[in-house]
Structure 1
Amino acid sequence: MFSNIPRARTFAWRTAIALFMGAPSAIAHADSAYPARPIRMVVPSGAGTVTDQTARLLADRLTVALKQTVVVDNRPGANGMIANETVARAEPDGYTLLFTYSATMTVNPWLMANLPYDPVRDFTPIGRSSAPGGNVLVVTSSVPARSLKALIDYVKASPTELAYCSWGVGSGGHLAMEVLKARTGIKLRHVPYKTATQCSNDLAAGHVQIGFADSASALPHLKSGRIRAVAVSGPERLLPLPDVPTMSEQGVKFDYASWLAVFGPRSLPAPIVSRLNAEINKIIASPTERARFEAMYLRPGTPSKPDDLARLVRDDLAAWGEAVKIAGLKAE
């Protein structure tokens, strides 16, 4: 059937067919060789935060498992948008990954009018590393409250408007406080910071009076007595603070939880996703590694599939959307 086609064109045509037929095996070979060079893990938080510490633990163990260096790249600011956009625009080759906290995927879409990424469309879910948890509501040492009710009463009786800090507009700390305000009628002035560590440091220094903080940045100041914990957001008490009740236990319903997870850019090849998911599951299932998580006061997650993470993102998008409505916040 090629008899009337010039010899050169016939050769080119046959070569193209051969390349096309061989493409799947070539792609499979490329995926099976993964990783062939160091991997960058982009993190939307600054050094010393729970997100950063967990990312470094995971990167350390993945470096061993994958036999390639996994480098943590901290990109804090804009409530995670900088880091998330970096990965959303990266090549889907498995060499740029995102390790992020849930608010960047499930809260930002409700509060950021011009969000430069879509949490469902622009990422490939890989695996979750931590169980759903919450943050700790703390006060500076000059505030006498030792329970959520006492704090509410103290704020309402204050002759001046007190200030609370968070790690950015739309962060979990911001939204949790706005829900608390809506449900209790208290008034507080919001002071956003770039990182949770900065928020905790200024609470300890007394520059702001109240705030939600992650356990990693809050614990040194809690131990020193410069700040005091009065409640925990999320469904369970925190490992390092077993005597501090949740908000729901203290009469203010708050069932929203946060989590930490790994994502890749959209269209990340399935073999790479499966490889990374399998290694993450091995890490969080290992008794040794679980002990390392718990030493950082984190509850490690249970092994899961990428589809489980995708479903969690969709479900939590709806839940946090309701929280935004309760808080009376609007996209800006």
Structure 2
Amino acid sequence: MRRRNLPVIAALAAFSASRATLAQPAWPSRPIRIIVTFPPGGSSDIVARVLAEVLSQRLPQRVLVENRPGAGGTLGAAYVATQPADGLTLLLSNTAPIVTSPPIYANVPYDPVTGFTHIAYLGATPLVIMVNPRLVPATDLAGLVTWIKAQSGPPGYGSSGAGSVAHIFGEAFSSRTGAALTHVPYRGSAPMQADLLGGAIPLSFDTLPQNVEHIRAGRLRAIAITAPARQEMAPDVPTTAEAGFPGLLAENWLGLAGPPGLPAPIVATLHAEVAAALDSPLMKSRILEHGIAVRPMTQPDFTRFVAEEVRVVGGAVKALGLTAQ
């Protein structure tokens, strides 16, 4: 009886072993790091920390966030591009280090399309045009343009760094309206916001989530949103089109990427886990709370999206002839 059942027992053991193998992650069980290319406090950092929290609940290992700011996000991106393709070091990619910074920084050591494995699209958030109400009397976009033109010299506008979406939008804003501005780059949104609140700069362009509480409290005045539609978290702020400047749009998209050559099983696992995380109640509420518009996208579609952004938006930035100071 025992001898007759040996093949069955062996088959069951092999099946159990195969299930156990499949249940294990396709990469070592050490912590995963998500590299954020800007300091704490900005939209990239906020989203990365929420994502890390949810993924830590779903994956066998912890997911940590590490900030590596500098050079418009290119320092952190360059670091990830040179890491082993084992799924342990990932990039919270966004418009700056992938699309807008490479054309304006000299000798960026990676190709924004082929230099990464583009894993998953997370979402996008528009910019808000803001002023310090103690310095700028304007309450709408036309009034802001009039105020800028009336100054003795180009006022400074703050951004999260040279090559950021806010920087590029500021140049487009000046070109479109004829209102000359001076770019004042910062190492991230948080120090820029501190100077805007303190009156060191009169206006800025930045993503909405980290500024919305100051806007609600009246410490900052929102002039317009650079989106086609009003935002749920700031429904009283008009769009640039409603303010009389259609086509003056900008958004900062967010994604997850890894070093080039990331094995297909790791890419598939991470893409599926990110999709599940984005569908979780916690992530949904936090993403909505921070004004991120999520759009489902397959991994190949995300790769094509990045390539098109680099071609169109990156090409437009290159044509502006901007250089990082």
* Shorter-chain TM-score above 0.5: yes
Preserved CA contact (<8 Å) 2:101 2:163: yes
1:210 to 203, 212, 215: 203
Deviations 1:220-242 (A, max 9, x none): 32233221010112333333211
Q: Which residue of structure 1 aligns with residue 278 of structure 2? A: 284
Query: Contact 1:139/1:227 (CA < 8 Å) preserved in 2?
Result: yes
Match of 2:137 among 133, 136, 144: 144
After superposition, where does 1:30-109 map in structure 2 within 5 Å? 32-109=25-102
Distance, in Å, in 2 between the alignment partners of 1:246 and 1:295 is 19
Of 281, 301, 305 in structure 2, the residue corresponding to residue 308 of structure 1 is 301
- Determine if contact 1:48/1:216 at 8 Å carries over to the other structure: no
Corresponding residue to 2:236 among 243, 247, 252: 243
Aligned residue type for 1:139:
V
Deviation at 1:219, TM superposition (A): 2.1
Distance 2:196 2:242 in 1: 24
CA distance in 1, matches of 2:132, 2:147: 13
Q: Which amino acid in the other structure matches residue 263 of structure 1?
A: A
Matched, 1:134 2:126: yes
Residues 1:267 and 2:261 are matched in the alignment: yes
Report how far residue 192 of structure 1 moved: 0.8
SS for the counterpart of 2:308 is helix
- Which has the larger displacement, 140-149 or 240-249? 240-249
Q: TM-score, normalised by structure 1?
A: 0.85
- Show the counterpart of 1:21: none
1:22: which partner in 2?
none
Q: Which residue identity is paired with 1:70?
A: V
SS at match of 2:138: coil
- Whether the aligned pair in 2 keeps the contact of 1:31 and 1:271 (CA below 8 Å) is no
Residue 270 to residue 75, structure 1, CA distance change in 2 (3 Å) = same
Q: 1:317 to 1:248 in 2, by over 3 A?
A: farther
What do the CA deviations read for 1:162-212 (whole angstroms, capped 9, x no partner)? 111111111111100100001111111111110111111111111001111
Using the alignment, how far apart are the partners of 2:281 and 2:313 within structure 1?
A: 33
Indicate the percent of aligned positions where both proteins have the same amino acid. Answer: 37
Contact 1:97 1:262 in 2 (8 A): yes
- After TM superposition, the structure 1 stretch with the greater mean CA deviation from structure 2, 68-77 or 280-289, is 280-289
Residue type matched to 1:57 in 2?
V
SS in 2 for 1:128: strand
Of 286, 292, 296, 1:298 maps to: 292
Q: Determine helix, strand or coil for the equivalent of 1:63.
A: helix
Q: Structure 2-normalised TM-score? A: 0.87
Report the Cα offset of residue 152 of structure 1: 0.3
Q: Which amino acid aligns with 1:68?
A: Q
- Report the CA distance between 1:67 and its aligned residue: 2.0
Q: Name structure 2 gaps, 5 residues minimum.
A: 1-17
| Contact 2:230–2:238, Cα closer than 8 Å, also in 1 | yes
Contact 2:165 2:251 in 1 (8 A): no
User: 1:240-296: per-residue Cα shift (whole Å, max 9, x none)?
Assistant: 211212223323222343211000000000000000000111111234421121122
Shift of 1:100: 2.3
Q: Could you say which residue in structure 2 is the equivalent of 1:7? A: none
User: What is the CA deviation profile of residues 28-48 of structure 1, one whole-angstrom value per residue up to 9, with x for unaligned ones?
Assistant: 989854341111110012112
The 3-state SS of whatever aligns with 1:191 is: strand
RMSD over equivalenced CA pairs, Å: 2.1
Deviation at 1:323, TM superposition (A): 3.8
Moved more, 206-215 or 259-268: 206-215
Judge conservation of contact 2:126–2:208 (CA < 8 Å) in 1: no
- Equivalent of 1:155 in 148, 156, 168: 148
Paired residue for 2:218? 225
**CA deviation vs aligned residue, 1:38-89 (integer Å, no higher than 9, x gap):** 1111001211211111100000111111121001001112110111011000
Alpha-carbon distance, 1:143 to partner: 0.5
Instruction: Give distance in 2, aligned partners of 1:31 and 1:317.
Output: 36
Which residue is 2:166 aligned to?
Answer: 173
What per-residue deviation string (whole Å, max 9, x for no partner) do you get for residues 2-25 of structure 1?
A: xxxxxxxxxxxxxxxxxxxxxxx9
